[in-house]
Amino acid sequence: MNNKIIIAIDAMGGENAPSKNIEGVSIYLNMNNKQKDVYFNLYGDEILIKRELDKYNISSDYYKIFPSSTIVSDEETPLTAIKNSKDSSMWNSINSQIISNSNITLSAGNTGVLFVVSRMLLKTIETVSKPALAGLWPNEKNTNVVLDLGANVECDDKNLVDFSEMGAALYKALFPDDNPKVALLNIGSEEIKGTEVLKKAFAKLKDISKHGDFEFNGFIEGNKITDGKSNVIVTDGFTGNIALKTAEGTAKFITDSLKKSLSSTIFAKISVIFSFFALKKFKSKLDPRKFNGAIFLGLKGPVVKSHGSTDAIGFYYSIDLCYRIIKGDLMNKIKNNLSHINNESN
Amino acid sequence: MNNKIIIAIDAMGGENAPSKNIEGVSIYLNMNNKQKDVYFNLYGDEILIKRELDKYNISSDYYKIFPSSTIVSDEETPLTAIKNSKDSSMWNSINSQIISNSNITLSAGNTGVLFVVSRMLLKTIETVSKPALAGLWPNEKNTNVVLDLGANVECDDKNLVDFSEMGAALYKALFPDDNPKVALLNIGSEEIKGTEVLKKAFAKLKDISKHGDFEFNGFIEGNKITDGKSNVIVTDGFTGNIALKTAEGTAKFITDSLKKSLSSTIFAKISVIFSFFALKKFKSKLDPRKFNGAIFLGLKGPVVKSHGSTDAIGFYYSIDLCYRIIKGDLMNKIKNNLSHINNESN
């Protein structure tokens, strides 16, 4: 187990658990069969998990099962979660960063509960004003980190500065060959636009960016999120959530319209034969499963939330994300970036 | 001129003015040659306008030119606009609702200046807390009215209630055979989600909707904007602007990716021959020019803002929007809807 990256998986979280979760593990091991530096701590119903592991002939060199007696339901609310979720597969997968050797936790279960329990068990980093939820989003060149996606409905300038440093750290951990370029989401690109909070954050970020943790590109509007000139998009949780969901809805609306058009006439149907590989590539590039996995940033241990409704391939991508987060040394990068704020603004 | 709908056009506003503006008038008259109940008051450089009118053989039965000596530049800011834009084509086209017989004003010029000057000359309706900027947005079934799109960065519950009533009035004016269905944009659909302002607006709208001006669908998330179940989407100007621009950016990102894919291989290129009409229909359905025209709601006279960069066809659609606003008796519908709030909440 020396030098192995140890991922704790809530095997019971999400639709079709533990089937898709374990199939995701199997896909991951098959895709990375030369790089055997990964190990899984699996939390949940031992019999169900074992049955799935056997289905894919997964070698016991790669996992240990930790039986957990209960499951967090989708109906559970953050208010009662601490009381009701003790010893659940989710709780134990988080707590394993403290009492076992796990480096990171992955769950496709109830988001609100995952956030509350993670925050309570792992604790917020002392110098972080608020933890945030970061997501991945395709852009013209590669991938954006976007945060906050809904953990904090209202944010002040200090929060937005913390999000910028943490988002830049995440970007650098995931894409070590590229540089983080931070932009604040706003309703105009001029310095005088937007709320007082945004204007204050702008001034602070301009100053702090001289430490070199990231380039600061100032304000950008919603239509520039995907142009690739910036790759760390910072906003409050309300705006970020609306932007993410609006983009998802628009993407679905357009691809549905396209599908309808391409099956509307016999000629259009014939055309699909010729464009099959091109359309497949188009679909693959925008496949939301490739961007599956939101990251809680600002806690003393890293936690990744997979979409509950994703399939085994989507779950595989969130395992890969966990691996890259640890390999890229996210926690030390966050610590290093945050030290620049605190020297600066207090 | 009896019973004619009189549209005041700032002929000098926007890129390629007055060429695209007058060509838009020409397209409108050709498309509606049986329905001759429209008349244009045209504001700007008389010689330039006349030259364009002659190019399209537009009969002088349909217009009068009002020479205006200056033009509002794109660099003009709302702060100095009142001083600098006097007697401009934009100013005069707005003022014509007061000193001439125009029913509505259309400009493709500087948005900020148009808003400030319109507000000063036409005045806000006494019972309206804040005027708003409403836009049109395609959905699965037909079209959404979305507001506010950026006139008010911060909004309280009273503003959101006013926006709901005015948006419902606009929807009914434009689509008289359908019923307005109002929803508040939020980060969850449950009643307890979101900011205090949203929760208060939710309670008020639930109550006010019993007057029958609109159905109230409660909160919706960004991914439901286009599903057609709601058709009047209400939010503050910051969130609305981010949502609109993010949707525009996403649409562009996806259609660009599609174009790239369909020209990537020889087979894909052949496929386009077969799918030509289907793809044309797809493109036409989502053509942003069809949704060109944002409406200032809450002033004592109606003002429509066309995209500055649109072409003659886009400008034609905004002329059509002006016509439908007056034909649909928007101003009386707004007055009627607002009367229900004021009986209620004071």
Q: Render pLDDT for A139-198 as a digit per residue (tens, 0 to 9).
A: 999 999 999 999 999 999 999 999 999 999 999 999 999 999 999 999 988 888 899 999
As a whole number, mean pLDDT of residues A247-272 equals: 81
Nearest CA distance, B245 vs chain A (angstrom): 5
Domain of B240 in residue numbering reads as: 126-296+329-346
pLDDT in tens, A150-166: 999 999 999 999 999 99
Block residue for tokens 């953050």: A78
Question: Is-contact A164 A232, C-beta < 8 A?
Answer: yes
**Could you tell me if A116 and A139 lie in one domain?**
no
Same domain, A9 and A116: yes
Q: Tell whether B304 is covered by a domain.
A: no
Quick one: pLDDT at residue A286? 78
Q: How far is CA A114 from CA A15, A203, B261, in A?
A: 16, 34, 39
Mean confidence (pLDDT) of chain A: 92
In angstroms, rounded to a whole number, what is the distance separating the alpha carbons of residues B137 and B144?
5
> Is the pLDDT confidence value at B80 over 90?
no
Q: Does B339 share its domain with B199?
A: yes
User: What is the band of A288 on the pLDDT scale with cuts at 50, 70, 90?
Assistant: confident
Q: What pLDDT is attached to residue B346? A: 42
How many alpha carbons fall within 13 Å on the CB side of residue B308? Answer: 12
B118 and B8 within one domain: yes
Which of B5, B1, B7, B3 has the alpha carbon at shortest distance from B66?
B7
pLDDT grade for A34, boundaries at 50, 70 and 90: low
Q: Which of A107-121, B203-217, B221-235, B245-259 has the lowest mean pLDDT?
A: B245-259
Q: Last residue of a domain, which of A122, A148, A177?
A: A122
Does any domain span residue B17?
yes
Q: Contacts of residue A248 in chain B, CB cutoff 8 Å? A: 222-223
- What is the predicted pLDDT for the residue at A342? 61
Residue of A227, A251, A273 with shortest CB distance to B254: A251
Contacts of A277 (CB under 8 A, 6+ apart): B265, B267, B268
- Domain match, A163 and A67 both: no
Is residue A322 assigned to a domain? no
How many whole angstroms separate alpha carbon A81 and alpha carbon A76?
6
Say whether both A202 and A267 belong to one domain: yes
Residues of A with Cβ-Cβ distance to B266 under 8 angstroms: none
Residue A142 C-alpha, separation from nearest chain B C-alpha, in angstroms: 13
Q: Which residues contact A280 (CB under 8 A, 6 or more apart)?
A: none
A277: chain B residues, CB-CB within 8 Å: 265, 267-268
CATH at B145 = 3.40.718.10
Give the nearest partner residue to B278 out of A185, A255, A262, using CB atoms.
A262
Residues of B in contact with A221 (CB under 8 A): 241-242, 245
Nearest CA in chain B to A259: B282
Q: Report pLDDT digits (tens) over B273-327.
A: 767 777 777 777 778 899 999 999 999 999 999 999 999 999 999 999 999 999 9
Domain final position from A122, A154, A184: A122
In the predicted structure, residue A74 carries a pLDDT above the cut 80: yes
What angle separates helix A19-31 from helix A46-55, to the nearest 10 degrees? 40
In the predicted model, is pLDDT for residue A344 greater than 60? Answer: no
Question: Is A195's CB within 8 Å of B246's CB?
Answer: no
**Which of B105, B122, B139 finishes a domain?**
B122
What does the pLDDT look like over B114-141, one tens digit per residue? 999 999 999 999 999 999 999 999 999 9
The pLDDT value recorded for residue A192 is: 80
Question: What integer best gives the mean pLDDT of chain B?
Answer: 92
At A302 the three-state DSSP class reads coil
**Structural domains of chain B, count:** 2
User: Does A307 fall in a domain?
Assistant: no
Q: Select from B143, B229, B250, B281 the residue whose CB has the most chain A CBs within 10 Å, as the one to mutate to test that interface.
A: B250
- Specify the pTM: 0.91
Provide the 8-state DSSP code for A216: E
Please tell me which residue of chain A has the smallest CA distance to B275: A268
On the question of pLDDT at B2 being above 70, the answer is: no
